[in-house]
A and B are shown apart, each in its own frame.
Chain A
C-alpha cells in the first residue's frame, strides 16, 4: 500500500548501538531542542492588556445608534425582535412628547429595549432586519458576570454615548455588500 505521507518509517527491531545504549547523546540532543525553544518568541497573548484583533465581520455586543444630531434612531418597530431566532429582544414602545425632538428621531421610540445576552446567539439577524440602521453588532465582547439578571442589557448599556460614538463603519460596509 502506498503511504499517505513520506513520514512513515519502517520499524526495525535491531540491537541498540553503544551510543544509543548510554542514552547521553540522545539526552544532549533533547536538551538542545528544548533550549532552542527557550529563546523563541512566546505564543501567549497577555489577554486583558493585549487583545488580538478581531475580524471585520466579528459579531459581538450590540449597540443602539444615534443619528448625527444625537437622537436615538430606534423607532421600536419590533422587526428585530421578530427576526431574532433566540427571542432575546424585548421592547416597550412609547410616543414622543413635545420637546423631546432632540432625543428621539421619530414620533415613536423604544421606552425600554432589552436584550438577554444569555439567550442571544450573536447571529446578527436584528441588524439585518432593522430598517432604520439603529442596531448594530460591534467587536466588543459581552463581559462575564456573577449574576444572570445582569446579563439582561437595557438601554443604559446598549445606546451609544453621544460623546463617544461607536464606530460601526465596517459593519455597515458588510451590510451593504449583503444587499
Chain B
C-alpha cells in the first residue's frame, strides 16, 4: 500500500512536471520562433518586453485573454468551442509516453522518467496525432466560413497523405527494434548506436512527414495566409485562437521529441557508460534529450523561414508519388536485411 502511494505521488508529480514543461516550452517557442525569424531576416525581433524581450510571450498571452471571445452567429456553437479543445487535448496527450530520461531512483524506488510505458507506445502516438486533425476539421467546419472549410479540408487531406508515409517509416524502426514501446526503442540506441545511422532514408521521410503533420511551412497549406486568410482558424479569436496556435507549438515540441527518440537516441549520448553515477547519467541524459529537441525545433523554424509553401498538387504529388513509394521501398529493404541477418 505504502509503495503504491509513493508510486502514485511520483507519477502525479511527473505528469504535472511534464505538463508544465510542455506548456512553458510551447509558450517560449512563440518567442523563439519570432527571434529566429527575425535573425534569419536581418532583424532583431521582439526586444521591448523585459530584457531581450523575454516577457513577450506573457504579454501575448495577456493580450489573447483580453480579446473579445467572438462566436459567429451561424456557426455550430458547441463544435466551434470543441475544436480548439480537441486540438489542445490531443497535443498535450502525446507527451505522456515520451521517455524523457533513463531510470531514476527516488526514495528507494526505481522509476522510468516517463509517464506511461505503453507497450503499443508508437501506435498510441500515431493514433492520438490522427485525432488531432479532428480539432482542425471540426473547428474549420463549425466556423461556417468557406476559407475555414478550405483550410480544414486541406489539413485533413494533408494529414492523411503524410500519416501513411510517417507510419511506413516507423514500421522500419519497429522491425529493427522488435518492439512498439518507445522505452525499448530508445533503450536499444544505447551510446552512439542511433537509428539514424541505420535508417537515414526513413529519418528524412519521417522529418518531412512530421513537418507536414505539424502544419509547418513549407506544408502550412491549412492556414496559408495569402490564400485562405487564416485557414481553419479564420473565425477564431481570443484564447480559442490561442489554443489552436498553442497546440501547434506543442505538436512541434512533441514531434521533435519523437524524432530525437526514434532516430537520434533520445536520452542516449556517446560515452555515457563513463559516467558511473546513474543519477548523474540520467540527468545528463535528460539534458541531452532536450538539447536534441531544441536542435530539431530550430531546424523546423529554420526550414520554415527558408522554403516557400508547396502548392496543393505539389504537396499531394510529394506525399503519394514520392514519399510513400520511398517509405515502402525502405521498409522492404530493411525487412530483407533483418531477415538475412537472422
Contacts and interface: CB of A to CB of B under 8 A. Distances in A.
B307 A43 contact: no
Interface string A52-92: 00000000000000000000000000000000000000000
A30 B307 CA distance: 7
A38 B40 contact: yes
4 closest Cβ contacts across the A-B interface?
A44-B44, A34-B306, A30-B306, A34-B40
Contact of B42 (A24, A30, A43): A43
Nearest to A26: B307
Interface of B: 38-44, 47, 204, 302-303, 305-307, 322
Contact of B306 (A22, A31, A44, A46): A31
A37 interface: yes
A107 B223 CA distance: 73
Given A27-B307, A30-B307, A42 B302 contact: no
Nearest to A36: B40
Contacts of A145: none
A44 B204 CA distance: 36
A43 B322 CA distance: 41
Nearest to B47: A46
Interface in A107-160: none
A44 B43 contact: yes
A16 interface: no
Contacts of A44: 43-44
Given A31-B303, A31-B306, A46 B39 contact: no
Nearest to A41: B42
A33 B305 CA distance: 11
A40 interface: yes
19 contacts: A27-B303, A31-B302, A33-B306, A34-B40, A34-B302, A34-B305, A35-B302, A37-B39, A37-B40, A37-B41, A38-B39, A38-B40, A42-B39, A42-B42, A42-B43, A42-B44, A43-B42, A43-B43, A46-B44
Given A31-B302, A34-B305, A42-B42, 13 more contacts: A27-B303, A27-B307, A30-B306, A30-B307, A31-B303, A34-B302, A35-B40, A37-B39, A37-B40, A37-B42, A38-B40, A41-B42, A44-B44
Contacts of B307: 27, 30
B17 to A, nearest CB: 33
A27 B305 CA distance: 12
B60 to A, nearest CB: 20
Nearest to A32: B306
A29 to B, nearest CB: 9
Nearest to B36: A38
B42 A40 contact: yes
Interface in A1-50: 22, 24, 27, 30-31, 33-35, 37-38, 40-44, 46
Contacts of A22: 322
Interface string A152-177: 00000000000000000000000000
A42 B322 CA distance: 39
Contacts of A43: 42-43
Nearest to B303: A31
A24 B200 CA distance: 13
A30 B47 CA distance: 27
B29 to A, nearest CB: 18
Contacts of A37: 39-42
Contacts of B42: 37, 40-43
Contacts of A30: 306-307
Contacts of A46: 44, 47
Contacts of A41: 42
A49 to B, nearest CB: 10
Nearest to A35: B302
A33 to B, nearest CB: 7
A50 to B, nearest CB: 11
A22 B323 CA distance: 10
A34 B305 CA distance: 8
Contacts of B43: 42-44
A42 B40 CA distance: 10
